Amino acid sequence: MNNIILLGAPGAGKGTQAEVICKELNIPTISTGNMLRAAVKAGTEYGLKAKAAMDAGALVSDDIVIGILKDRIAEPDAQNGFILDGFPRSVPQAEALDAMGVQIDKVIEIDVADDTIQKRLSGRRVCLDCGATYHVDFKPSKVEGVCDVCGKPIVIRKDDEPATVKSRLETYHKTTEPLKGYYEKQGKLTSVKGRETVEETSAAVMAALKA
């Protein structure tokens, strides 16, 4: 079974590496951030409740996030393994995952310094339609401003404004980083340095998964 958690600060490269692992291991990525953005876009009840917290760079309440995660991991395509990107984000969320009886095999932390994060997020572009992620310097789309995957426009994510990034980093250090100790105690954590390029980081992540 390949039930994998990707841990790391906002902009550490979780979504980028999830795309690579997903192709290599043929398992789905479950991104709570993408699911919440889809709910906001669709104007669902969950989406309306989540929007204010997301815009402010704060965490969405556990009852919403745990609810959508529980439904998603019960789907047929997740029965042979999955990559969790953005969940859990706090010790209570990790405890909720354990209480659901979900066996986690590996937790990979992508470790990137805060000043590098600020640079990465200022150059990030995303497709609001299919969720593909780009960077103006490190991972440009083939045609400027257009998604390689679905041909729709790519834009700056609303929560990538510098002030919001600062709040997201504070939330990460205070609430999410303690998960490193939580999974270290369980013998599941491997830390990988986020490298200069996407490819170098992928090689380190895949090596950690195969170790």
Q: Which residues are catalytic?
A: 14, 89, 124, 157, 168
Q: How far is the CB of 25 from ligand AP5 (least distance, A)?
A: 17
From CA 188, how far away is CA 124, in angstroms rounded? 30
Among the listed ranges 5-13, 39-47, 148-156, 181-189, the one in contact with ligand AP5 (CB under 6 A) is 5-13
**Among 27, 30, 32, 131, contact with ligand AP5 (rule: CB under 6 A):** 32
Annotated binding site for ATP: 11-16, 124, 133-134, 196
Question: Number of C-alpha atoms within 13 angstroms, CB side, residue 83?
Answer: 25
Q: How far is the CB of 10 from ligand AP5 (least distance, A)?
A: 3
**Among 4, 7, 40, 60, contact with ligand AP5 (rule: CB under 6 A):** 60
From CA 171, how far away is CA 113, in angstroms rounded? 15
Burial 135-149 (b: 16+ CB within 10 A, else e): beeebebeeeeebee
Q: Does 147 bind ligand AP5 (CB under 6 A)?
A: no
Query: For ligand AP5, which is the closer residue by CB, 75 or 170?
Result: 170
User: Could you tell me how many residues of this chain bind ligand AP5 (CB under 6 A)?
Assistant: 37
From CA 99, how far away is CA 102, in angstroms rounded? 8
**Among 8, 82, 108, 127, contact with ligand AP5 (rule: CB under 6 A):** 8
Identify the burial level of 163 via C-beta atoms within 10 angstroms of its C-beta, where 0-12 means exposed, 13-18 middle and 19 or more buried.
exposed
From CA 142, how far away is CA 137, in angstroms rounded? 12
Annotated binding site: 11-16, 32, 37, 58-60, 86-89, 93, 124, 127, 130, 133-134, 147, 150, 157, 168, 196
Q: Does 47 bind ligand AP5 (CB under 6 A)?
A: no
Q: Which residues, 6+ apart, have CB-to-CB distance to 166 below 8 Å?
A: 57
Which residues contact ligand AP5 (rule: CB under 6 A)?
8, 10-16, 32-33, 36, 53-54, 57-60, 65, 86-87, 89, 93, 120, 124, 133-135, 138-139, 159, 168, 194-198, 201
